[in-house]
Each structure stands twice: as structure tokens, then as C-alpha cells.
């Protein structure tokens, strides 16, 4: 039970980190796009 909870927590943490990284790179790309025009 504890192991299962830990695995879910790790999975959730990975999902948050990946999601934040994608959001950040998307914002960075949008900023570059705005600078071009």
C-alpha cells in the first residue's frame, strides 16, 4: 500500500515536471514568435 502510494506520488511528480517543462518551452517559443513580428 505504501509502495503503491509512493509510485503514484512519483508518477504524479514526473507528470507535473514534464507538464511544467512543456508549458515553459511553449511560452518561450511564443515569446520568440512575438519578437519576430
Give tens-digit pLDDT for 1-37.
Answer: 456 667 778 888 888 888 888 888 888 878 877 776 6
The CA distances from residue 34 to 1, 22, 28, in Å, are: 49, 18, 10
Count structural domains, the chain: 1
What value does the CA radius of gyration of the chain take, rounded to a whole number of Å?
16
pLDDT at 2: 56
pLDDT at 27: 81
Distance CA 6, CA 2 (A): 6
Please state, as a whole number, how many other Cβ atoms lie within 10 Å of the Cβ of residue 12: 10
Amino acid at each position: 500500500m505504501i509502495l503503491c502510494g509512493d509510485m503514484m506520488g512519483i508518477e504524479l511528480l514526473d507528470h507535473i515536471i514534464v507538464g511544467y517543462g512543456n508549458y515553459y518551452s511553449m511560452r518561450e517559443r511564443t515569446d520568440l514568435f512575438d519578437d519576430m513580428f
